[in-house]
């Protein structure tokens, strides 16, 4: 029997916050392609779609993010990075009556949903691995189930990001164990010809105690 073709859809922000809250900074230097391969070692990996947006947390955070994205590309594999954006808005505090500026990530949900449906309808895969605990993708999951029931839809939840709604809707789901995250780290230095990308010093901080 031919290898099952799998495409992964990685919600970068959901994954990032799950890792930070559950494991601290140390494990953010994650080899996303390597992680997906470890989750589906017997499958033919068609693509890993990674969805993110340029952080608004300041220049140091932006530098770490850019280094990380360059390292991911340099590490190789069928990786495609898709960018959304942050939208600034004012938030009124009901208790104090004052306003504060907040930023909301936009376009990621739409990108993932549209790509998932397009890949399923064009027959690019036998399984979709959705790395996220965000239930906003349920309409896309339902569309694929109704129109391409042979495509296996699997939710792969980042640490601390289990979605009961996805569990109920998707034919299969599981939580990504912390051991898988630890084993799927990029080398401390990733080289690409004359260029090299080093794990940010902040991401060398030890993980908090369990």
**CATH code of the domain containing 164:** 3.40.50.1010
CA distance 150 to 6: 13
Residues 186-209: pLDDT tens digits? 999 999 999 999 999 999 855 555
What number of residues does the chain have?
210
CA distance 22 to 148: 35
Q: Which residue has the higher pLDDT, 111 or 34?
A: 34
CA distance 20 to 17: 5
Residues 161-182: pLDDT tens digits? 999 989 988 889 999 999 999 9
In a domain, 210, yes or no: no
In a domain, 192, yes or no: yes
In a domain, 22, yes or no: yes
In a domain, 209, yes or no: no
| Structural domain total, the chain | 1
What six digits make up the tokens of 24? 């601290």
8 Å CB contact between 14 and 45? no
In a domain, 126, yes or no: yes
Range of 181's domain? 5-204
Residue 167: HSE in the Cβ half-sphere, 13 Å Cα cutoff:
7
* pLDDT the model gives residue 28: 96
């Amino acid at each position: 029997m031919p290898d099952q073709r799998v495409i992964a859809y990685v919600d970068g922000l959901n994954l990032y916050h799950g890792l930070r809250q559950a494991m601290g900074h140390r494990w953010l230097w994650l080899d996303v392609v390597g992680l997906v391969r470890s989750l589906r070692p017997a499958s033919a990996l068609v693509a890993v779609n990674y969805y993110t947006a340029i952080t608004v947390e300041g220049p140091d955070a932006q530098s770490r993010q850019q280094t990380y994205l360059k390292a991911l590309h340099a590490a190789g594999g069928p990786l495609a990075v898709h960018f959304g954006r942050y939208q600034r808005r004012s938030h009124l505090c009901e208790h104090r009556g004052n306003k504060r500026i907040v930023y909301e990530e936009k376009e990621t949900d739409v990108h993932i949903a549209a790509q998932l449906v397009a890949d399923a309808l064009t027959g690019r895969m036998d399984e979709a691995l959705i790395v996220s605990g965000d239930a906003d993708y349920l309409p896309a999951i339902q569309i694929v189930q109704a129109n391409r029931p042979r495509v296996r839809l699997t939710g792969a939840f980042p640490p601390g990001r289990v979605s009961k709604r996805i569990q109920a809707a998707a034919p299969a789901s599981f939580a990504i164990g912390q051991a898988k995250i630890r084993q799927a780290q990029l080398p401390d230095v990733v080289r690409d010809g004359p260029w090299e990308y080093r794990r940010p010093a902040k991401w060398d901080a030890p993980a908090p105690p369990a």
